[in-house]
Amino acid sequence: MAGVGEFDIIRDYFAGAPTGESVLLGIGDDCALLQPPAGSVLATSVDTLVAGRHFPEGTDAAKVASRSLRVNLSDLAAMGAAPLWFTLALTLPSADRKWLRGFSHGLLETAREYGISLVGGDTTAGPLSITVQVTGHAAKPLRRDGASVGDAVYVSGPLGAAAAALPVVERKRKVDAELQQAAEAAFYWPEPQLQLAQSIAPLATAAIDISDGLLADLGHICRASGVSATVDLESLPVAALARELAGESARELAATGGDDYQLCFTVPAAQVPELEQLNSGAVRIGTLVDAAGEPQVLTRWRGQSWSPKESGYQHF
Amino acid sequence: MAGVGEFDIIRDYFAGAPTGESVLLGIGDDCALLQPPAGSVLATSVDTLVAGRHFPEGTDAAKVASRSLRVNLSDLAAMGAAPLWFTLALTLPSADRKWLRGFSHGLLETAREYGISLVGGDTTAGPLSITVQVTGHAAKPLRRDGASVGDAVYVSGPLGAAAAALPVVERKRKVDAELQQAAEAAFYWPEPQLQLAQSIAPLATAAIDISDGLLADLGHICRASGVSATVDLESLPVAALARELAGESARELAATGGDDYQLCFTVPAAQVPELEQLNSGAVRIGTLVDAAGEPQVLTRWRGQSWSPKESGYQHF
Nearest-neighbour CA in chain B from A70: distance (Å): 11
Cα diameter, chain A: 62
| CB spacing of B211 vs A2 below 8 angstroms | yes
pLDDT in tens, A53-72: 888 889 999 999 999 999 99
| CB spacing of A48 vs B133 below 8 angstroms | no
- For residue A76, is pLDDT > 80? yes
pLDDT mean across residues, chain B: 91
Question: Which residue of chain B is at minimal alpha-carbon distance from A49?
Answer: B124
pLDDT mean across residues, chain A: 91
| CB spacing of B224 vs A29 below 8 angstroms | yes
Instruction: Please indicate if any CB of chain B lies within 8 Å of the CB of A39.
Output: yes
Using the CB atoms, write b or e for A277-315: b if 16+ within 10 Å.
eeebebbebbbbbebeeebbbebebeeeebebeebbbeb
Instruction: Please indicate if any CB of chain B lies within 8 Å of the CB of A211.
Output: yes
Nearest-neighbour CA in chain A from B2: distance (Å): 6
Cβ distance A163 to A259 under 8 Å?
Answer: yes
Nearest-neighbour CA in chain B from A303: distance (Å): 30
| CB spacing of B76 vs A31 below 8 angstroms | yes
The pLDDT-based confidence of A1 (bands split at 50, 70, 90) is very low
Instruction: Please indicate if any CB of chain B lies within 8 Å of the CB of A93.
Output: no
pLDDT in tens, B211-230: 999 999 999 999 999 999 99
Instruction: Please indicate if any CB of chain B lies within 8 Å of the CB of A150.
Output: no
Query: What pLDDT shows up at residue A167?
Result: 93
User: Is A217 annotated as contributing to ligand binding?
Assistant: no
Chain B positions touching A126 (Cβ under 8 A) are 48, 50, 52-53, 127, 129
Q: In terms of Cα–Cα distance, which of A134, A143, A26, A42 is closest to B36?
A: A42
Cβ distance A78 to B30 under 8 Å?
Answer: yes
pLDDT in tens, B146-190: 999 999 999 999 999 999 999 999 889 999 999 999 999 999 999
User: Is B209 annotated as contributing to ligand binding?
Assistant: yes
User: Is B259 annotated as contributing to ligand binding?
Assistant: yes
Percent of chain B at pLDDT above 70?
Answer: 93
Pairing type for strands B82-92 and B117-125 reads parallel
Instruction: Please indicate if any CB of chain B lies within 8 Å of the CB of A36.
Output: yes
Say which range, A16-25, A274-283, B57-66, has the weakest mean pLDDT: A16-25
Chain B positions touching A224 (Cβ under 8 A) are 28-29
Query: Rounded to whole angstroms, what are the CA distances from B283 to A143, A162, B104, B110, B288?
Result: 50, 59, 36, 27, 15
Q: Closest partner residue to B45 among A31, A44, A143, by Cβ?
A: A31
Query: What pLDDT shows up at residue B21?
Result: 83
Question: Which residue of chain A is at minimal alpha-carbon distance from B30?
Answer: A75
Say which range, A38-42, A309-313, B76-80, B262-266, has the weakest mean pLDDT: A309-313
Q: Mapping DSSP to helix (H, G, I), strand (E, B) and coil, where does residue A289 land?
A: strand
Instruction: Please indicate if any CB of chain B lies within 8 Å of the CB of A115.
Output: no
Q: Closest partner residue to B316 among A9, A217, A316, by Cβ?
A: A9
Domains and CATH numbers, chain A: 4-138 (3.30.1330.10), 152-306 (3.90.650.10)
- Please list the residues that pair with B174 across neighbouring strands: none
Q: In terms of Cα–Cα distance, which of A274, A257, A261 is closest to A68?
A: A261
Cβ distance B229 to B153 under 8 Å?
Answer: yes
Instruction: Please indicate if any CB of chain A lies within 8 Å of the CB of B87.
Output: yes
Query: What pLDDT shows up at residue A222?
Result: 97
- For residue B204, is pLDDT > 90? yes
Rounded Cα–Cα distance for residues B304 and B306 (Å): 6
Cβ distance B75 to B208 under 8 Å?
Answer: no
Instruction: Please indicate if any CB of chain A lies within 8 Å of the CB of B116.
Output: no
User: Is B30 annotated as contributing to ligand binding?
Assistant: yes
User: What ipTM was reported for this prediction?
Assistant: 0.89
Cβ distance A148 to A281 under 8 Å?
Answer: no
| CB spacing of A35 vs B42 below 8 angstroms | yes
- For residue A97, is pLDDT > 90? no
Cβ distance A170 to A116 under 8 Å?
Answer: no
Chain A positions touching B190 (Cβ under 8 A) are none
pLDDT in tens, B5-54: 455 555 677 766 667 888 998 888 889 999 998 888 999 999 999 999 88
Residues 6+ apart with CB under 8 A from A248: none
Instruction: Please indicate if any CB of chain B lies within 8 Å of the CB of A139.
Output: no
Q: Closest partner residue to A133 among B49, B87, B95, by Cβ?
A: B87
